[in-house]
Amino acid sequence: MTDTWPGIAPAPGTPQCAPPSFEPGRGWWITRHADVRAALTNPAFQVPAVDGGPPGTLAWLRASVSRFSPPQRHAERRAMVVTALAALDPDDLRREAARLTVDVLDRAEDRVDVMRELARPVPLRALADRLGLADPAAAASAVAVVAAAYHPGVDPALTARADRAVAALLALAPEGPPEVPANLIGLLVQTCDATAGLIGAAAQHLLPPTAPRAPVAVGTAALLAEVLRLDPPVRATRRVTVDAVRLGGRNLPAGSPVLLRFDAANRDPRAFAEPGTFRPGRSGAGLLTFGAGERGCPGDRHALALATGVLDVLLDRCRRTSTPLRHEPHPTLRVPTNLEVSVR
């Protein structure tokens, strides 16, 4: 029997694919698959600069990680992350995430909030443990605090809490030159919301409301890839042009703020046949949720392994309840605030 899956409608606010457009006060929006990929791989588009701060603070962390680094510092800092990830076995991460998920479900009386009890803490605990942090559970809690304030422009109260959490994480991290633990922490922070959003979206779209779904022919990784395409946890990323550049038939002046919309590009009919159809294992131009080029996510296999470990157990043992689903307010992330399941 062929297993069928429901389609996934665009999330509210997802723009249509169109040539690059400029809006005063918002900058350039890039929505077509080819244009987004071109911008991700063109050195004329750079990550906006961030301000630094005193050592051990959130501002210091942002200015020290590869994600926000200027071109002259990016390669060496990215190498720190790549080296750390090379020592980790994705299959081991998947098994550990599954084990931790089983532990949570075994302790549950009836219902579990996937977001609070699984989607954030399980991947963070598994990854923090394998990265050598002294107390993975404490590290996971601290990372969640940092992630809530990670993007510039948040409430100063959140920043003050995040400063304390960064200091706590540095005390738990393996010793090394300051930028090495900073980039390990940055890796955990990037894992936090993005992986939680993927697990939440997958549970939302793939868990049936009546009974656990029977085993299917396609693997969990293929299911997650389609969820990433149609309901990505990272909806967009920002760039700024450092030179005048032509993209998608438009001339962008130097210094232009640019928003690259993964959510729109992943539904581009020029790149994907029947782009709104949920079709695991599809061929196509490739989803852009993990980025592309020299700043593409170095931990995509590890993130998928962690999410797979959690989702495999959920698909086997859980069904969604009728509790209304809400998402956190955020301009570029899509992460459910709650997602309740019943456990068998």
Residue 249: left if φ>0, alpha if ψ -120 to 50, beta else—which one? left
Q: Is the pLDDT of residue 214 over 60?
A: no
The average confidence (pLDDT) of the chain is: 92
Beta-bridged to residue 23, according to DSSP, are: 27
SS3 341: strand
Cβ(65)–Cβ(77) under 8 Å? yes
Q: Measuring CA to CA, which residue among 169, 240, 205, 185 is closest to residue 320?
A: 205
pLDDT tens for each residue of 57-103 = 999 999 999 999 999 999 999 999 999 999 999 999 999 999 999 99
Q: Measuring CA to CA, which residue among 204, 194, 142, 189 is closest to residue 330?
A: 194
Strands of the sheet containing 45-46, edge to edge, are: 21-23, 27-30, 257-261, 236-241, 45-46
pLDDT tens for each residue of 184-213 = 999 999 999 999 999 999 999 999 776 555
Q: What is the mean pLDDT of residues 262-287?
A: 89
Looking at residue 151, the DSSP 8-state letter turns out to be S
* Residues 110, 336, 95, 133, CA torsion sign: negative
Q: Where are the beta strands (DSSP E) in the chain?
A: 21-23, 27-30, 45-46, 111-113, 236-241, 245-247, 250-252, 257-261, 318-320, 340-343
Q: Is the pLDDT of residue 151 over 90?
A: no
Q: What is the mean pLDDT of residues 96-123?
A: 96
The CA–CA distances, whole Å, from 342 to 81, 110, 313, 314 equal 37, 6, 13, 10
- What span, in angstroms and rounded, lies between the C-alpha atoms of 30 and 334? 18
Looking at residue 66, the DSSP 8-state letter turns out to be G
Q: Is the pLDDT of residue 120 over 70?
A: yes
Superfamily name and number for 21-69+88-339: Cytochrome P450 (1.10.630.10)
Q: What is the mean pLDDT of residues 131-159?
A: 90
| pLDDT value for 173 | 97
The CA–CA distances, whole Å, from 296 to 189, 220, 319 equal 16, 22, 34
pLDDT tens for each residue of 236-246 = 999 999 999 99
Written as six digits, the tokens of 300 are 């995509």
Q: What confidence category does residue 312 fall into, taking pLDDT thresholds of 50, 70 and 90? A: very high
- What span, in angstroms and rounded, lies between the C-alpha atoms of 91 and 97? 10
Give φ, ψ of 234 to 5 degrees: -105, 105
Q: Which amino acid is at 110?
A: D
- What span, in angstroms and rounded, lies between the C-alpha atoms of 30 and 19? 7
Q: Which amino acid is at 86?
A: A
